[in-house]
Amino acid sequence: MSPWIKSLTLAGALPFLVGCALKLGWVSLPGVDADTWLWGYAVVISAFMAGSHWGIALKSADLITLLASNAFALGVFAIALWLRTPLGLALLVMIFATQLLVDRRLLALALASNAYWRLRLKVTGIVCALLATYLLIAVSVP
């Protein structure tokens, strides 16, 4: 796997870390609060992953992945619109973890490589941990 792919994939988790720092008040960015930052980026990344699954499903005609990609995109969109609460954050963690299960399925179907699976496992673990941290901060800090 290309070092560029690894680097860009891991760098994609950094805005979740920035969200935690924003929520704690350690940093500030002009014109954006922590919740807007986190939810906006979470929607982008989840939709990006759903699009990745969609593309693989189109090539492989895997109906489960095709349906899952749509469900994830619509689910995270709905949560971001109507449930920007601690419960919504917990559901967001579940969506990212479940998207990882789709990647596991793709590995089992030989539609993804072992290197891709290991990278996704690592970065999804980081993202879910950062989202859980953000959730803990959100319920602890007004």
Hey, where are the domains in the chain? Answer: 10-25+32-140
pLDDT tens-digit readout, 99-125: 999 999 999 999 999 999 999 999 999
pLDDT tens-digit readout, 37-53: 999 999 999 999 999 99
Alpha carbon distance 33, 108 (integer Å): 41
Alpha carbon distance 93, 107 (integer Å): 21
Question: What does the pLDDT read at residue 142?
Answer: 65
Q: Name the band, by pLDDT with cuts 50, 70 and 90, for residue 127.
A: very high
Computed over every residue of the chain, the mean pLDDT equals 95
- pLDDT score of 1 more than 90: no
How many whole angstroms from its chain centre is CA 46? 5
